[in-house]
Amino acid sequence: MPDNHTLSMDQLRVGLYVHLDLKWFEHPFAFGDFKIKSEEQIRIIRSLGLKTVRFSPDLSEGTPPPPVAASSAPGATAVAPPTVSPEPELTPVMLAKRAMMAQMQLRRKDAERIEKAFVNTASAIRDIEKNMFSKPLETVQQATKLIAQITDSILSAPELAIHVMGDKMGGEELYFHSLNVTMLSMMIARDLKLPAEVVGALGLGALLHDIGRKEVPDKILRKTEALTQAERNFYEMHCQYGVDIGQRMQLVAPVLAIIREHHELFDGTGYPAKLKGESTSLLSRIVVIANFYDELCNPPLIADALTPHEALSLMFAKLRGKFDPKLLQVFIRCLGVYPPGSIVQLSNGAIGMVATVNTARPMKPTVVVYDADIPKEEAMLLDMERETEVNIAKAIRPAQVSRDVYNYLSPRKRVSYYFDASSSRPEAGKP
């Protein structure tokens, strides 16, 4: 860590990297540690009631001023009596900070609402899968109705925000894969502006893409080490098993095609038929990408899981030949370089987790920021579109952060997504 020195208010100047010993909601800046860029920032710092301020010479520009003598610095965090009022000119700035805090409260309420919707949808999928054989036609009607609701919500929303979900899911984990693949597939379809009836077929196919796994023994499905060739052959039959089940359920041809082709790869290395390029349907090629990504993030053995950032990087950098290039480009454009659930380091050194990505502005996500002095329930939610002082510097693996930071940010063991298709957020992302 760079050495911290103490300055009086009259020693402040542009170029100094200062540390405000205040809680983040007691000053109008996004962070308490930053390089002074203007005289206006100096004026604001002087109005905060601090007698002195710490600064880091190593991070500052130019020749640092001499430190304050001990006799004139009773303490680095000495604060003026509470009777001292801030300058009137500061009021609009602090009002902006309070508005930012109010928006965070709204975002937290949004997150609770969306998480509840996610759990309810996963529960509905559980009921659909449970009744697939005993009530096949009723099950198809139920699934079609669910997909129609999701389709209408996603396609009609003026903006679409992707949220990473928490771990309080009430035992619905088995159904997350189907839900993840469905949501990610529909995200791509929305970007492509596919018509609602086509998106409905895509959603139903994505939801039911793995129904053939019901015919595969659990000992194969749950095996964490490499499958034998015989086991691999058996497992790959789940695509055809799924088609057989789908025909009994009287599913339409586009949905059956997705079930049959969701493991076919663009370079012909997939299965069961090793189909190549555009010999598979457009909808199947969409589901292939969503399915592959989710399997990288949520494999049977959690220790093998890639972070969202790693999964996307691998698919683009090393495996891109396996996917329809145009669709892969759309997928990355919607999720952004740092998909929700990614742990990131900001340009000022702070650590955070990407919580939400707006598909219209994926490079400007909302980040939950770690601060040991703030309870995690009140953690700062930094809207990177509004923030001009810092940006995301890089993604980091959860294992690279301390246990305290890990627990605070709560990177999910399994990454699940859900969408906020609410139209009640017209102000989102606006300055």
Average pLDDT of every residue of the chain: 84
pLDDT tens per residue, range 291-344: 999 999 988 877 788 999 999 999 999 999 999 999 999 999 999 999 999 999
* Residue 91 or 30, more confident: 30
pLDDT, residue 98, reads: 67
pLDDT tens per residue, range 235-274: 999 999 999 999 999 999 999 999 999 999 999 999 999 9
CA–CA distance, 228 with 317 (Å, rounded to integer): 29
pLDDT, residue 58, reads: 86
CA–CA distance, 363 with 367 (Å, rounded to integer): 12
Per mean pLDDT, which range of 14-18, 173-177, 375-379 is the poorest? Answer: 173-177
* Residue 253 or 401, more confident: 253
Q: Which residues contact 66 (CB under 8 A, 6 or more apart)?
A: none
- Tell me: pLDDT of 424 over 60: no
* Residue 161 or 203, more confident: 203
Residue 200 near residue 147 (C-beta atoms within 8 A): yes
Provide the percentage of residues in the chain whose pLDDT is more than 70.
84
Q: What is the mean pLDDT of residues 108-137?
A: 85
> Phi then psi for 346, rounded to 5 degrees?
-85, 165
Tokens of 84: 């001292």
Bridge-partner residues for 7, per DSSP?
Answer: 53
* Residue 9 or 62, more confident: 9
**Can you give the three-state secondary structure of the chain, one letter per residue?**
CCCCEEEEHHHCCCCCEEECCCCHHHCCCCCCEEECCCHHHHHHHHCCCECEEEECHHHCCCCCCCCCCHHHCCCCCCECCCCCCCCHHHHHHHHHHHHHHHHHHHHHHHHHHHHHHHHHHHHHHHHHHHCCCCCHHHHHHHHHHHHHHHHHHHHHCCCCEEEECCCCCCCCHHHHHHHHHHHHHHHHHHHHCCCHHHHHHHHHHHHCCCHHHHHCCHHHHCCCCCCCHHHHHHHHCHHHHHHHHHHHCCCCHHHHHHHHHCCCCCCCCCCCCCCCHHHCCHHHHHHHHHHHHHHHHCCCCHHHCCCHHHHHHHHHHCCHHHCCHHHHHHHHHHHCCCCCCCEEEECCCCEEEEEEEECCCCCCCEEEECCCCCCHHHCEEEECCCCCCCCEEEEECHHHCCHHHHHHHCCCCCCCEEEECCCCCCCCCCC
CA–CA distance, 294 with 335 (Å, rounded to integer): 13
CA–CA distance, 79 with 83 (Å, rounded to integer): 11
Per mean pLDDT, which range of 229-233, 234-238, 371-375 is the poorest? Answer: 371-375
Q: What is the mean pLDDT of residues 53-59?
A: 88
pLDDT, residue 327, reads: 98
pLDDT tens per residue, range 272-292: 999 999 999 999 999 999 999
Q: Which residues contact 70 (CB under 8 A, 6 or more apart)?
A: none
Query: CA–CA distance from 373 to each of 39, 82, 314, 377 (Å)?
Result: 29, 21, 36, 12
Per mean pLDDT, which range of 136-150, 164-178, 239-253 is the poorest? Answer: 164-178
Q: What is the mean pLDDT of residues 60-78?
A: 56
- Tell me: pLDDT of 62 over 80: no
pLDDT, residue 421, reads: 67
Tokens of 333: 């454009």
Residue 231 — very low, low, confident or very high, per pLDDT cuts 50/70/90?
A: very high
- Tell me: pLDDT of 407 over 60: yes
